[in-house]
Structure 1
């Protein structure tokens, strides 16, 4: 079992979760983070740290559509081990529905 970053991370990308991860399993895209499912140890410390409430166990129905995306992009994007700055408009995007259309497949910077 692993945790999955889901839709509400898109354009929020707060990164509080990165700092608490004991195994550094987060990867950064241009406008969201993902978790590498083979590196995640299912400790759960990242879930309560996410201000956007975008992290779920892969057994949660909210994670189902995002598990494969996390797997795919965690193999393409750079690993991130330190919290960076959230986008200036993150609060404006937090909680907005239907953000999948804004997903950017490009890697982010560390």
Structure 2
């Protein structure tokens, strides 16, 4: 894993990051986007494309954002069909339980 999307994406899911991702590793849940930890090539293009500051290096996560590393891993374990390219897979339509239970209005 190289980059992680945090709660600033919940209920926003701008998708500008997906347009910049050269390996198509940013998948769409119901309320937020998730970076596939095994597909990300650590290019960082998504970070600068995100207008919400919702993406950070896994090594620079702090505070509550740290749990989103595990949330991403667990999301892809729960939805094994989400691999091989987000565009081909399409929207998953579900989220990690923490994200699904997040208060309306999203994060940051």
Q: Between Structure 1 and Structure 2, which shows a larger proportion of helix residues?
A: 2
| TM-score, structure 2 as length reference | 0.70
How far apart are the structure 2 equivalents of 1:69 and 1:104? 11
1:41 deviates by 0.5
Match of 1:69 in 2: 71
Unmatched segments (≥5 aa) in structure 1:
83-100, 106-110
Asked if 1:8 corresponds to 2:14, the answer is no
CA-to-aligned-CA distance 1:15-71 (integer Å, 9 cap, x gap): 000011011111111110010111100000000111111000000133421101111
Unmatched segments (≥5 aa) in structure 2:
89-96, 102-108
* Local SS of the residue matching 1:46: helix
Q: CA RMSD in A?
A: 2.4
Size of the aligned set, in residue pairs, is 87
Post-superposition, which runs of at least 4 consecutive aligned residues in structure 1 deviate over 6 A?
Answer: none
